Amino acid sequence: MKYLPLMALRSAWNRRLTFGLIALTIALSVTMLLGVERIRNDARTSFSQSVSGADLVIGARTSPVQLLLYSVFRMGEATSNMSWQSVEEISKHPSIAWVIPLSLGDSHHGFPVLASTSSYFEHYRYGDDLPLELAKGKPFKQLFEAVLGAEVATHLGYKVGDKIALNHGMQESSLTSHADKPFVVIGILKATGTPVDRTVHISLEAMEAIHVDWLAGGRVPGFNVPVEMVRKFDLEPKSVTALIVGLKNRISVFRVQRYVNDYKDEALLAVLPGVALEQLWQVISVFERTLLLVSAMVVIIGLTGLVAVILAGLNERRRELAILRSVGAQPSAIFMMLVMEGLALTVAGVLSGLFFLYGLTALFAPYVQAQYGLSIGTTFLSAGEIPFILAVVVVGLIASMLPGYRAYRLSLIDGLTPRT
């Protein structure tokens, strides 16, 4: 019957509230499923692109994952530092081309402060071997100069020439402030989509300078060194948090790694960034699979509700379906009508879920970037999400066949005979 789809549409419109709630349930479940998958993939991409071209990351002996997390991703804290003497000795190894010393521990309004040398701007790479570039200003050269990551400058509204004060540790209190030794913003880096965007960069000497009148994590009572007197102190760093190393030839990576791990003067650890990242994925893979499983179960529950609503509605539609049969509709046509209803609801729910996901990612992506340093994509639909969409539609189609088959089996007499 050529009018059957129109009649099915009008029939569905009469139950628009119930069908709308089912479509909303499917939409929310699809949003959750695709949201988990998008965060999982974007987190992996963001982590893997945070550092490129580095052959080894060296620090005090700890777990490889922990060393990578706090040195590259600014997550967690170092259990101990490595001495500057070890940095100088390791830098002299004939297989090492360059080193980037990193010193962490201070902050500015919740953003981590990283102290390094000019080699940081020369050799640090991210993404597909991309160098750091300045959007404004220039790298630090003087003692109390700072270069801001793009997210720091945007979030706090800083521009070149502004003065900022750092804090000792991650606390925000006057007792831990280095306000007596302010820094001048000398440069702002272009956005990278990595933890670099959330970092305030200063020199190693500057890190020492702001702590000359501090001891054991606190200011020495009654001892305050003014800015003009700081340069008279020995500002050579005593220790650093970690060391990023580039080799002349990557063939020698395991030899240098053994040299560092067997270093006699202190307990050090050298890790390959790619290997440490793989260990990290193994640690969180169980959590990832659990989230995906929960999301899949939510989708199944939503589709189960679809089946339940259509099946429950069959009792109310007995007379309607019987009348369709009486005017010439074949059982197969009734079957197809109900399958089309279920499929249309599933597709409507999927499309609504995609719009919800797009809106949520566009709304919260800047917050996630600012707080966690993770870049979440705001595309409407990515290629990796298409299999999930097709799987939901196929399962919805199969689920719609159950009430369709039930209607197919209803006889004409059953629909026209009143029930008592």
Sorted by where each begins, the domain ranges of the chain are: 4-47+283-416, 56-271
412, two tokens: 């004409």
Could you read off the pLDDT of 257-310 as tens digits, one per residue?
A: 999 999 988 999 999 988 888 887 777 777 777 877 877 787 787 777 767 766
For 51-63, how does the pLDDT look when each residue is reduced to its tens digit (9 = 90+)?
788 899 999 998 8
Count of helix runs (H) and strand runs (E) in the chain: 14, 16
What tokens were used for 289? Answer: 């699979």
**Do the Cβ atoms of 47 and 402 come closer than 8 Å?**
no
Question: Tokens at residue 17, please?
Answer: 């509230």
Q: Which residues pair with 203 in a beta bridge?
A: 116
Residues of the chain with pLDDT under 50: 174, 411-413, 415-416, 420
Q: How far apart are CA 334 and CA 369, in angstroms?
A: 51
Q: Tell how strand 239-240 and strand 82-83 pair up.
A: antiparallel
**CA dist., res. 69 & res. 126, Å (int):** 15
Report the distance separating Cα 342 and Cα 208, nearest Å.
Answer: 68
Q: What is the pLDDT of residues 111-149, one digit of tens each?
A: 999 999 999 999 998 877 889 999 999 999 988 999 999
Q: Calculate ∠ Cα 292-295-297, nearest 5°.
A: 110
CA 245 to CA 366: how far, in whole Å? 31
What are residue 215's DSSP bridge partners? Answer: 218
- Structural tokens at position 120: 């940081």
Q: In angstroms, rounded to a whole number, what is the distance separating the alpha carbons of residues 319 and 417? A: 9
250 three-class SS: helix
pLDDT at 113: 93
CA end-to-end span of the chain: 32
Using the structure block, give the residue that is written with the tokens 């991703």.
Answer: 73
Q: 163: which strand partners?
A: 184
Q: Enumerate the β-bridge partners of residue 148.
A: 188, 200
Cβ proximity of 58 and 242 under 8 Å:
yes
Instruction: Give CA–CA dist 312/306, Å, rounded.
Output: 10
pLDDT at 199: 93
Query: Whole-angstrom Cα distance, residue 112 to residue 149?
Result: 10
Asked if 364 and 39 count as a contact pair (C-beta separation under 8 A), the reply is no
Q: What is the pLDDT of residue 329?
A: 65
